[in-house]
Amino acid sequence: MMKKVILTGDRPTGKLHVGHYVGSLRERVRLQNSGAYDSVNIMIADAQALTDNIDQPEKVRENIAEVALDYLACGLDPQKSTLFIQSQIPELCELSFYFMDLVTVSRLQRNPTVKAEIQMRNFEASIPVGFFTYPISQAADITIFKATTVPVGEDQMPMLEQAKEIVRRFNAAYSPVLVEPEILLPQNEACLRLPGIDGKAKMSKSLGNCIYLSDEPDAIRAKIMEMYTDPTHLQVKDPGHLEGNTVFTYLDAFCQEEHFSRYLPDYANLDELKAHYIRGGLGDVKVKKFLNSVLQETLEPIRLRRREYEKDIPEVFRILKSGSEAAREIACGTMDEVRRAMRLNYFDEDFIHSQADKYL
């Protein structure tokens, strides 16, 4: 049977926040512990981060440990998962180079993620070639591990489509050594796109609207109290609205039924709480206090585990180093197959003999 392999990762451009947690990290830990996968590979995509941080190599460098700490804090376990750094696998460059022959410029120009990011970063005409082609390099990340499953947010959907196309073209042109990956999206809507505390669609450091996994309890509480709710819900008795109400979006993403019996026993579940809010008579502060209890309970073990690893940073780098070595071994194995498929294995005995025979 075909092996089930997970590959996913993050650009190290900052600490990870609760959007990363519900969008991907929580799922990765669940998958890691499910026992359903033969291998789980989690990559810190430093080379990809450099494609749009050309002048900030220090920023990328300083965030390697931050992201690794967030991974370990969330429960990614180096005994069960391979945690590694993209740039330490030079075979990825080699595979990307060959993949470039399988993709057209117009196909890359149509990639919606690239389009959106070009706009967001004001690249327009001055886009670096490496940034423009990062879907190709991302396809190499995925396929060099023969990943079957890629747990990411929905913004990465076009990347997966591109990777599948490349696999199909490669396998048809050479021989079927690569595996078509499947995307694995978070199950619920709120987790797909968790808004910032200001209700804006995306959590981002520059907007100052993130709750970080490493935030202290007071900071978490203060951010929840600031959170955007329903601007028409002025008095407790007023009927409230759920659409665009960040507090309820967060409850959709984080809250479980058992949280009600612990922190808000007047309600059996989230549906009852929502119904009361819509009816009127339920104040924002009460809902925010409940969300605070839920988030504090969720984030405390993560923060405490992070603090433990922070005391032993050399160990964190040892984990990344041995993970990178293990990942490289897999990558080298695939590249041997790729070179053979592409007829680049000139120094194999059979090939040399066949060449010799030709001149007899």
Name the site residues for ligand TRP (rule: CB under 6 A). Answer: 7-11, 45, 48, 138, 141-142, 150, 152
User: For the chain, how big is the Rg over CA atoms in Å?
Assistant: 23
Taking the complex as a whole, how short is the minimal distance between the CB of residue 344 and ligand TRP, in angstroms?
A: 25
Taking the complex as a whole, how short is the minimal distance between the CB of residue 44 and ligand TRP, in angstroms?
A: 9
Of 7 and 330, the one with the shorter C-beta distance to ligand TRP is 7
Taking the complex as a whole, how short is the minimal distance between the CB of residue 7 and ligand TRP, in angstroms?
A: 6
Taking the complex as a whole, how short is the minimal distance between the CB of residue 41 and ligand TRP, in angstroms?
A: 9
Tokens of 169: 């073209």
Query: Residue 85's beta-bridge partner residues?
Result: 44
Taking the complex as a whole, how short is the minimal distance between the CB of residue 20 and ligand TRP, in angstroms?
A: 9
* CA dihedral for 136, 138, 139, 145, sign (positive or negative): positive
Of 150 and 211, the one with the shorter C-beta distance to ligand TRP is 150
Of 136 and 247, the one with the shorter C-beta distance to ligand TRP is 136
Of 163 and 227, the one with the shorter C-beta distance to ligand TRP is 163
Taking the complex as a whole, how short is the minimal distance between the CB of residue 140 and ligand TRP, in angstroms?
A: 9
Nearest to 60 by CA among 92, 16, 14: 14
Q: Which amino acid is at 346?
A: Y
Taking the C-alpha atoms of residue 134 and residue 149, their distance in angstroms, rounded to an integer, is 19
> What is the 8-class DSSP label of residue 184?
E
Tokens 């990465």 found at: 156
Identify whether the C-beta of residue 144 lies closer than 8 Å to the C-beta of residue 334: yes
β-pairing, 39-44 vs 82-85, is parallel
Taking the C-alpha atoms of residue 43 and residue 23, their distance in angstroms, rounded to an integer, is 16
Tokens 């079957």 found at: 148
Of 75 and 153, the one with the shorter C-beta distance to ligand TRP is 153
Of 195 and 240, the one with the shorter C-beta distance to ligand TRP is 195
Of 152 and 178, the one with the shorter C-beta distance to ligand TRP is 152
Which residue number has the CB closest to ligand TRP?
45
Tokens 């789980």 found at: 40
Of 156 and 229, the one with the shorter C-beta distance to ligand TRP is 156
Which residues, 6 or more positions from 33, have their beta carbon under 8 angstroms from its beta carbon? 75, 80
Taking the complex as a whole, how short is the minimal distance between the CB of residue 8 and ligand TRP, in angstroms?
A: 4
Identify whether the C-beta of residue 28 lies closer than 8 Å to the C-beta of residue 42: yes
Taking the complex as a whole, how short is the minimal distance between the CB of residue 149 and ligand TRP, in angstroms?
A: 10
Which residues, 6 or more positions from 183, have their beta carbon under 8 angstroms from its beta carbon? 150, 151, 152, 156, 157, 160
